[in-house]
Amino acid sequence: MTKKTIQIFSVIILVGLGFWGIKRANLSIPPARTETRLMMGTYATIIALGPKEITTKAMNLAFMRMQEIDVKFNPINPQSPVYAFNRNNKPISDPEIISLVKRALEISRKSNGAFDITVAPLLELWGFYVKASSVPKDKEIKSCLRNVGYRHLLFKGGKLNKDNPKVKIDFGGIAKGYALAEAARVLKNNGVTSVLIDLGGDIYVLGKYGARPWKVGIRNPRGTDILGYLEAKDQSVSSSGDYERFFVEKGKRYHHIFNPVTGYPTEEVAEVTLIHPDPVLAQAWAKIPFVMGSQKGLQALDRIKGMQAIVVTSDGEILYSENKLIIHK
């Protein structure tokens, strides 16, 4: 069983526990339909409550929408404008991509560059686009950093350009949040009022599971169990961890969340889980404490209205935002 399936499986278990608790209390809930598909490099699961004729159609449309986003924003898919931008320096004119880039750049400015979609050259250098990952030499990293920095991205004539042909972009830190938002919009517009969407651990819940909020597990970053669970309604729950994509070399763990200034993977934080109504903000800002550090990262998150956070450090310490999450055991 892969790390991703374990994470999804734990969520479904919690939903099941919530179901049986509701059933024992003699509270009625609509029938649920569950489907999982592979996309965006992970597993996408939708659990929708309601009449089968409504949920079946809505779920298919939501999966189709997420698949469209997967193709459009994928830097290694030749059909994507992002691929052409990275490989052939072709400006991007697609309004949907430009809109998300502008949101990413706004988060970059507010986080003083801790979030940066131009880290693609680092991901490439460290081998995270292929299976053969390894630690590069210091001089290779320093050279690569010349091609990293959100300020290299420019808008000219309504198109996205760059001032350095070696600059490349990667939407891995924000595209799943956007896909969740779009899937939720499609489901809601097609009559679904109660649904959980899990896209590789980034989750959005609409409505309630019967009479109770949805239950979402928070994974233990150093195990296959959970630290506890939280209850959510009409919110996104986004988790980032150093366990998602990593390799070990000479006894040291190296993961895929990079400090755009140093060119190395971050070290102090093991996992961040955020709750916010907007899944785009939740996914992107979940990376910030890794780069800023736990304390400064939490301070930055506290400035965002409606944001709740839990940070687990590499030493196992659990920290909370001022707007504290309620974690159930």
Other Cβ atoms within 10 Å of 133 Cβ, number: 18
- Please, what is the average pLDDT of the chain? 90
Domains in the chain, please, with CATH?
3-72+174-320 (3.10.520.10), 81-162 (1.10.3980.10)
> How far separated are the first and last CA of the chain, in Å rounded?
24
Residue 190: pLDDT over 90: yes
Residue 258: pLDDT over 70: yes
The mean pLDDT of 91-101, rounded to a whole number, is 98
Six-digit token pair at 95? 């309004």
What is the pLDDT confidence band of residue 13, given thresholds at 50, 70 and 90? very low
How does pLDDT run across 15-42, given as a tens digit for each residue? 433 332 333 333 456 789 999 999 999 9
**Residue 324, pLDDT score:** 81
How does pLDDT run across 105-159, given as a tens digit for each residue? 999 999 999 999 999 999 999 999 887 789 999 999 999 999 999 999 999 999 9
**Residue 145, pLDDT score:** 98
Alpha helices in 25-173 (DSSP H): 52-72, 81-88, 95-110, 120-125, 138-145
**Residue 28, pLDDT score:** 59
**Residue 16, pLDDT score:** 34
**Residue 326, pLDDT score:** 82
The mean pLDDT of 231-254, rounded to a whole number, is 93
Alpha helices in 132-202 (DSSP H): 138-145, 175-189
DSSP-assigned letter for residue 95: H
How does pLDDT run across 287-322, given as a tens digit for each residue? 999 999 999 999 999 999 999 999 999 999 999 999
H/E element, 46: strand 42-49
Judged by DSSP in three states, 168 sits in coil
**Residue 30, pLDDT score:** 73
Residue 59: pLDDT over 60: yes
**Contact yes or no for 233/208 (Cβ under 8 A):** yes
Residue 79: pLDDT over 80: yes
Region of residue 316 (phi > 0: left; psi between -120 and 50: alpha; otherwise: beta): left
What are the DSSP calls for 69-87, one per residue? HHHHT-TT-TTSHHHHHHH
d(CA 159, CA 153): 10
Six-digit token pair at 186? 């499609």
What is the pLDDT confidence band of residue 7, given thresholds at 50, 70 and 90? very low
Judged by DSSP in three states, 217 sits in strand
Six-digit token pair at 52? 């089968």
d(CA 272, CA 289): 7
How does pLDDT run across 226-237, given as a tens digit for each residue? 899 999 999 999
Antiparallel, parallel or unpaired: β 194-199 and 42-49: antiparallel
The mean pLDDT of 211-217, rounded to a whole number, is 92
